[in-house]
Structure 1
Amino acid sequence: MVDAITTTEATSRATASRTSLVSNFETFLQLLTAQLKNQDPLSPLDSNEFTAQLTQMTGVEQQLLTNDLLTSLLAAQQGTGLGGATNYIGKEATAAWSVTTLDEGKANWTYELGASASSATLSVLDSEGKVVWTGPAPDRTTGTHGFVWDGKTTAGGQLPDGGVYSLKITAKNGTNDVAAQVLTQGRVSGVELYDGVPYLTIGGSIVPVSSVIALDEYEAPAPVTTPVPATPTA
């Protein structure tokens, strides 16, 4: 199995490799200079051997240039990823993501059912994967439905703001499982970069761009106008 590496890791490895090459290159030049200074005038350095050493030195120099180019490409790729993510700001996004934070005593999710279910159970898990609340889903019909958790455990205790929680749904129609998923929906308010990967801020959630499955233009709500009563005539 081949493990993927992030842009940050790749840049770090390239930088470390360059440092090692620079050290070896400088040592090589020092040894070559010392060899030329101390060679026997009656038995000078063989031209073929000298040419071979120069060729080796040129190869090291080319490797240094290659590493510099690689580092530049990785930096450009990282900047492009963040720059591309900024295009999401201000738009309505839907992400297949179940993690959010408890803020002002509530956490918001959206869940989707592929078909109507005879039973559907929601479970809220803390950052350690422990179930802190469980209960029936408020709507078991086909489609997407909103769910707001009040931050209370199944036993009734109130959890403090700032905790990270995820939602899990289990739905059945009789004995058959119903396809279901948890979504995060909302307007994108910002972007961040973690280990070279761009993330979007959607409400209380920070989701990777790769989890976004739908994107729409944000439509501001229509202003509410209050009718002005007519002025009575004399």
Structure 2
Amino acid sequence: MILDAISSAAGTSSAAKDRAGIADNFDTFLQILTTQLKNQNPLEPLDTNEFTAQLVQFSQVEQQIKQNENLEAITQLAAATAATNAVSFVGKRVSVSTTQSELTNGTANWQYSAAKDADAAKFTIRDSAGKVVWTGERDISKGDNNFTWDGRDAGGLKLTDGNYTLSVSAKDADGETVTVGIAAEAIIDGVDFSGEEPLLLAGDTTIPMSSVKRIHNQ
């Protein structure tokens, strides 16, 4: 078929190339068609069904290119919207679904949410290297609660400021495991646009926008 010959001669083009390629191929197709019609054997006329089928193929390819262009435009719009939304977080205090919190001036804060009351829940804090620096047990109540750490290890030694991680292991009175979700508050002071999606910055910590649970008034 004419279209097959043109396609193989032109080579494979990516979706990113503009429709000039299909337009050039279509012009070539019409030139070849015109030449063949002029020089056809009247006793063996060309099959018009073949030309019709190839015209349909050209139309389908052009529609696909238009759809790809529309998808690219939608993707660019979504990226611009995400960037605008990310910038609006700068200066805001947010609650983030994360076990990590920054120890600043001897204080680190977390929020945790228990599915139900629990007895003797074990709280464990680790430093950035994963080393356990503090553990403690306490009863916790169902719902949202706050936990503040004074930045001292098990021996009472004051630790340096930085990022620390909290984990909570809890069981109810019947010994059943209690699910505890952990979050931390952070002040967003910047946005990182270097990756595929904008990341919020809070000091040295990067935060995906999907991890933000709440935005608070300062």
CA contact (8 A) 1:185 1:202 kept: no
Q: Does 1:121 align with 2:123?
A: yes
1:46 & 1:62 partners in 2: Cα distance? 25
2:27 & 2:61 partners in 1: Cα distance? 14
Letter in 1 for 2:170: A
- Mean Cα displacement is larger for which, 110-119 or 89-98? 110-119
Letter in 1 for 2:98: W
- Distance of aligned partners of 1:21 and 1:89 in 2 relative to their CA distance in 1, 3 Å threshold: closer
Residue from 15, 18, 26 that aligns with 1:18? 15
Q: CA deviation at 1:26?
A: 7.2
1:209 & 1:100 partners in 2: Cα distance? 17
| TM-score, reference length from structure 2 | 0.64
- Distance of aligned partners of 1:165 and 1:38 in 2 relative to their CA distance in 1, 3 Å threshold: farther
* 1:199 equivalent in structure 2: 199
Q: Does 1:144 align with 2:143?
A: no
- Mean Cα displacement is larger for which, 65-74 or 23-32? 23-32
- Distance of aligned partners of 1:133 and 1:61 in 2 relative to their CA distance in 1, 3 Å threshold: same
2:135 & 2:164 partners in 1: Cα distance? 18
**RMSD, aligned CA:** 4.3
Task: Name structure 2 gaps, 5 residues minimum.
Answer: 1-12
Q: CA deviation at 1:197?
A: 3.4
1:166 & 1:194 partners in 2: Cα distance? 26
1:1-234 alignment runs, 5 A limit: 18-19=15-16, 25=22, 28-29=25-26, 32=29, 35-36=32-33, 39=36, 41-43=39-41, 45-99=46-100, 108-112=108-112, 114=114, 115=117, 117-124=119-126, 131-137=130-136, 142=141, 143-147=145-149, 166-172=165-171, 175-193=175-193, 196-218=196-218
SS at match of 2:91: coil
- Distance of aligned partners of 1:180 and 1:91 in 2 relative to their CA distance in 1, 3 Å threshold: same
- Distance of aligned partners of 1:195 and 1:148 in 2 relative to their CA distance in 1, 3 Å threshold: farther
SS at match of 2:199: strand
2:118 & 2:40 partners in 1: Cα distance? 96
Residues 176-225 of structure 1: CA distance to partner in whole angstroms, max 9, x if unpaired?
5454332220222123347543432234422222222221111xxxxxxx
SS at match of 2:39: coil
Q: CA deviation at 1:172?
A: 4.3
1:46 & 1:113 partners in 2: Cα distance? 74
Letter in 2 for 1:182: I
Letter in 2 for 1:18: A
| TM-score, reference length from structure 1 | 0.60
2:26 & 2:104 partners in 1: Cα distance? 62
Task: Name structure 1 gaps, 5 residues minimum.
Answer: 1-15, 219-234
1:112 & 1:28 partners in 2: Cα distance? 63
Residues 129-158 of structure 1: CA distance to partner in whole angstroms, max 9, x if unpaired?
xx42153238755520123657x899x9x9
SS at match of 2:88: helix
- Mean Cα displacement is larger for which, 19-28 or 91-100? 19-28
- Mean Cα displacement is larger for which, 189-198 or 18-27? 18-27
2:67 & 2:102 partners in 1: Cα distance? 44
- Distance of aligned partners of 1:198 and 1:19 in 2 relative to their CA distance in 1, 3 Å threshold: closer
SS at match of 1:206: strand
